[in-house]
Amino acid sequence: MVFTEELRAEKLFSAKGAVCVVTGGGTGIGLMATQALAANGAKVYITSRRKEALENAAKSHEPSQGGEIVPIGPCDVTKKTDLEKLVAEISKKEKHIDLLICNAGVSGPKAEPESEDAKELKERLFNNESFEEWSDTFNTNVSAVYFTTVSFLPLLQAANKGTQSSSVIVISSMSGIMRHAQGHFGYNAAKGATVHLSKLMSYEFKKAGIRVNSIAPGYFPSEMTTKESDENQKSEIPDEKIQDKGHVPMGRAGSDEEMAMGILFLMRNRYVNGEVIAIDGGVLLEVPGR
């Protein structure tokens, strides 16, 4: 039997004492996740390719009480040597990690398929993108997620005490579920692979006692969507820009709080494994998917 007092939100979603790692943790969704975890008591290691962004994020958003934000790196998640170095550095400080969030990603090339004429389509799509750009997009958004997760498996397993208490959250995208290319064939195809990769890892790594779930965000403010951050490593998307798209029922971008709720839910609920949760403001109700 569970007493009513045990179902208080601060108990259900507490991250007190947890050790977490977030890639791409200095900006955007990675920083939102970092803040959510640190605010609820976790020690969060954040890494990315830019050391200055990491240090600034930690300085600007360190909680006044509870958890801790620790910049570590820099780390390029597309390089095995960087991943091995990252794991080695964290292993010197921690005996385990409770949560890994694979968030680092890139948007890749863009070419709009706006013509009904096949010759024009070829001109626009074939000549404005390259194999190299597609490969870079796939390496960061898919391959790096796989190798990052695999690198941390021993530290993740070390957190388990007879149950699947450690987990991985893969930040994919609603773009990996929808059929609308949005001018981003390479990015959407890569995110589709990321979605499926998270399902593959959830099945294969359950034997090691590690849960894997994915969040498929809609439009959230980040450097990927706005191309910039302010002095606090934060970005903004005006409501009008979202409304102009015509397929977002909420009529605005997602908030830090809404992403935080998803992160804490997947971290704490051990009965959820292998799921892809869209936090998209209803976009997938309007745009064809799967």
Q: Is 187 a catalytic residue?
A: yes
Q: Where are the beta strands (DSSP E) in the chain?
A: 19-23, 43-47, 68-71, 99-102, 166-171, 210-217, 276-279
Q: Which one is catalytic: 43, 45, 175, 187?
A: 187
Q: Is 172 a catalytic residue?
A: yes
**Three-state SS for 101?**
strand
Q: Is 203 a catalytic residue?
A: no
Give CA separation, 158 vs 94, 140, 210, 253, in Å: 10, 27, 10, 37
Give CA separation, 205 vs 143, 152, 159, 172, 198, in Å: 17, 12, 14, 18, 10
Q: Which one is catalytic: 172, 173, 198, 229?
A: 172
Q: Which one is catalytic: 151, 191, 229, 235?
A: 191
Q: Smallest Cα–Cα separation from 171: which of 252, 268, 104, 99? A: 104
Hey, which residues are catalytic here?
172, 187, 191
